[in-house]
Amino acid sequence: MALAVENALKYQQAENSAVTDYLTGLPNARSLFLQLDRELARCKRDNSSLIVMVSDMDGFKQINDRFGHLEGNRVLRLFAQALKDTCREYDYVARMGGDEFVIVAPGLTAETATKKADSLRELAKQAGVEVCGEDILSLSVGQAVYPGDGKDAESLLAEADRRMYIEKQEQPSRKNRRTYPRMKCRVTIELRPEDGDSPVFGNLTDISLGGCFVETSAILTPGAKVRLVFSIDDGRMQAEGSVVRIDPGCGVAIRFNDMGRDEREKMHRVLEFVHNTTMFYDNRYFSKLLNR
C-alpha cells in the first residue's frame, strides 16, 4: 500500500514538472500551448475574443552580470508572483523561458490591455528596484488579438512576439542588455576626428543612445574625440563622442558624450533618421531581389 502511494506521488510530481516551470511555479511553454488551444476552441464556440500578451525583460542580463544569477532568479520569482497577484483569476500566466512571460486574457479589450501592459512594466521595474536597489529593469510588451491577428496559438504568439521586439527597437529610452537598446542598422556616415585629420567614411552597423559601432579602415586611437555626421547630404544630424574600443580590420566602438535633455532629444531624432534610412535601403534591396 505504501509503495503504491509513493509511486502515485512520484507520478504526480513528474506530471507537474512536465507542465510547470521549476523556478517560478508558473505553467511552462508546453502547458501554455495546451491552455491556449483550449481557450481558442472556446472562443470559436462562443464567438468571443482574447488577447495574448508576450513580455520580455530589458536589463535582465545586466542584473545577472552585475549582481549574479541568484539575484536574477529572485527577480524572476518576484515578477512571476506579481503577475499572478495582479491578473484576473481566469487569466492564464506562463513563463515561456528565460525572462519571457506570456498572459492569455480572455475578453480583455484593447484599451484595457494597453493599461495592463503599462502596469506590467511597472511591476518589472519594482522587481528590479527591490532586488538591486536601483532602476535597472524594464519590460517590452507585445499584444495580439484573436481573431484579428491570428486564429491559432502559433500565429497569435508569433504576432505578439513580433510586436514585442518592435517595441524594444522603437523605445530607445528603455534599458536592455547594454544599458541602452541597440538598433541594428546599415548607414554610411562621416567621421571627423577632433585632431584635424581628414574626415573618413564608415558604415554604421549599430547604434543606441549611449554609443555606436562603425565599420571603417581608418586608424583611430582609443580616447580620440570624433564628430559623427549621420546625414551626409545636409550635415544636420550629428553627435560627438570618443573612441572606446578598436577592432583592427573591423572598426571602432564610440561612446557618445554625456547628454542633457536637449541633446537626448536630438539623439532620438538621429535614431529615427538611422532607422528610417536603414528601412528604406532594406526595402529597396528586397524589392530588387523579388523583381529578379
**Which residues are tagged catalytic?**
99
- What lies within 8 Å, CB to CB, of 143 at 6+ separation is 51, 52, 53, 54, 110, 113, 117, 160, 163
Q: What is the DSSP letter of 64?
A: H
- What lies within 8 Å, CB to CB, of 113 at 6+ separation is 51, 53, 105, 143
- Report the relative pairing of strands 238-247 and 225-229 from DSSP bridges: antiparallel
- What lies within 8 Å, CB to CB, of 48 at 6+ separation is 42, 106, 107
The amino acid sitting at 188 is T
- Is the Cβ–Cβ distance between 175 and 184 less than 8 Å? no
- What lies within 8 Å, CB to CB, of 235 at 6+ separation is 229
- Is the Cβ–Cβ distance between 92 and 156 less than 8 Å? no
Q: 157: helix, coil or strand?
A: helix
- Is the Cβ–Cβ distance between 63 and 179 less than 8 Å? no
